[in-house]
Structure 1
Amino acid sequence: MTDLTPLALPAWAVPTAPRRQAVEEHCVSIRAAWWREELDRRELPGERPAGPSLTRAEVWAPADDVFTLLWRTLAWGCGSHLRQSARRLDSIAEDVDAARALLTEAATASRVDPARAFALMRPGRLNTFRFFGPSFFTKFLYFAGGGEPDHPCLILDRVVATALREHCGWESLHRIGPWPAVTYERYCSLLARWARTGGHAADEIEVTLFTRGHLRL
């Protein structure tokens, strides 16, 4: 494994915009009607996404139950591309009570232990919910923090992973995953260290790795 101790945040990945602008107002267009119809058809609980778009701040806003947070997360994460979304909903619908218990436990763990939270969603070599892999469930673990700047869980997807591998020196990091829990823990710790050093929140760095790293791919 790459020794992450000497890795420094590249100048191009240093956040420059205020967190409110870069993170809280990060907006994605969604297909709200599709989510309402598909959730209603499966009689799944939780508030349905509404409106043509969602910002990060709207996703992490307080919710009455864990499913409301999940639907917001999935709608934001999918945007206008709904590939595999129906299968994700089918996986949740197979056992709603078990899903509620697991998601609640993972959300709670996300606030203190990224590795445990990740392992709950991917115990071993398979995801807990089919078609709901790390690129999506780390979004859920991130948004479960309610927007707290020091929340320890962050989004890890193939764009961020590739930027870290190709442009930040993490040569052992697989570009597309799936990643084990220990790798996720190392990732969150690395960005937290970079954030402390530069006086930023870790999710600001995740955003710059995604947006600017995407341009470098």
Structure 2
Amino acid sequence: MPMTDLSTLPFPEWKTPDQCAVDINPSWWRDEIGRRGLPGTPPSARHLTRDDVRASENGVFTPLWWSLAWGAGPRLRLNARRLDSIADDVPRCEELLTEAADLSRRDPFTAYSLLRPGRHNAIRYLGPSFFTKFLYFAGRGAPGHPCLILDRRVATALRDRCEWTSLHRTGPWPAETYERYCGLLTRWSQESGRAPDEIEFMLFYGFSADQN
């Protein structure tokens, strides 16, 4: 399928929902991270907001645990396997995540490519829907941080509601697609006066917000 010309896609005028806290299971994160002897501090509260994750301490593992917990909510998904994969080679994962966090502040394409080289994830079970959360939160809320979250709900909204017809709803997406996505939301931000991550949040909740 030919790539959609993103320069023609208009900004979607949807209502932006209020920020909300995500319910998590902090005891699971504490126990599973501790059992594997992994570095970093697991989240301790029963609810996490984006601001909470942005404020998690420096380093790479604490922000990773908090972004994974926030992204998974109470369902946990594949997080046990993600923790096992990281525990298999902590120094390698720390090096990858440190470099990716640094790149996230200036180069979305290369940051994404580092964690998704070719057709495989650099860290098993840490795919784009979750590692783009890490890349986003690595900016710690800095204005102009170029990396944004791309997951299935955002991709589905872009395809079905915003006419990005060449975008796969579920991924995994190549680095070029991620770079185009970040560029599209940056353009929409300039046109609308909204922050790029506010637009991403609107896309994530766009279906329900549009119906309220």
Q: Please, what TM-score do these two structures have when normalized by structure 1?
A: 0.92
- Give the one of 123, 132, 148 matched to 2:126: 132
Aligned AA for 1:65?
Answer: G
SS at match of 1:5: helix
Aligned residue for 2:140? 146
Q: Give the corresponding residue for 1:29.
A: 23
Aligned to 1:41: 35
Q: What is the distance in 2 between the residues matched to 1:213 and 1:5?
A: 23
Task: Confirm or deny: 8 A CA contact 1:133 1:178 kept in the other structure.
Answer: yes
Task: Quickly say closer, same or farther: Cα 1:74–1:210, change in 2 above 3 A.
Answer: same
CA distance in 2: counterparts of 1:149 and 1:137, whole angstroms: 20
Q: CA deviation at 1:101?
A: 0.7
Q: How many residues align?
A: 209
**What does 1:171-190 align with in structure 2 at a 5 Å threshold?**
171-190=165-184
SS of equivalent to 1:184: helix
Deviation of 1:62 after TM superposition, in Å, equals: 4.7
Which consecutive residues of structure 2, in runs of 5 or more, have no partner in the other structure? none
Runs of 5+ unmatched residues, structure 1: none
- The answer on 1:9 being equivalent to 2:11 is yes
1:74 and 1:11 mapped to 2: Cα distance? 30
The one-character-per-residue Cα deviations of 1:126-146 (angstroms, maximum 9, x if unpaired) are 001111110000000000000
Q: 1:178 to 1:214 in 2, by over 3 A?
A: farther
2:73 counterpart of 1:68 = no
AA aligned opposite 1:11: E
Q: Distance in 2 between matches of 1:171 and 1:216?
A: 20
Offset of residue 215 of structure 1: 6.2
CA contact (8 A) 1:159 1:213 kept: no
Give the drift of 1:214.
5.3
Q: Structure 2: which amino acid aligns with 1:63?
A: E
Q: CA RMSD for the aligned pairs?
A: 1.5
Measure how far apart 1:58 and its partner are. 0.8
CA contact (8 A) 2:158 2:203 kept: yes
Name 1:56's counterpart in structure 2: 50
Counterparts in 2 of 1:112 and 1:166: CA distance versus 1, 3 Å? same
How far off its partner does 1:45 sit? 0.4
- The question of whether the paired residues in 2 share the 8 Å contact of 1:84 and 1:131 is answered with yes
Q: 2:101 matched to which residue of 1?
A: 107
Q: Secondary structure at the match of 1:192?
A: helix
Tell me the residue number matched to 1:191.
185
Provide the TM-score with structure 2 as the length reference.
0.94
Tell whether the 8 Å contact from 1:110 to 1:141 is kept in structure 2 after alignment.
yes
Instruction: State percent identity of aligned pairs.
Output: 58
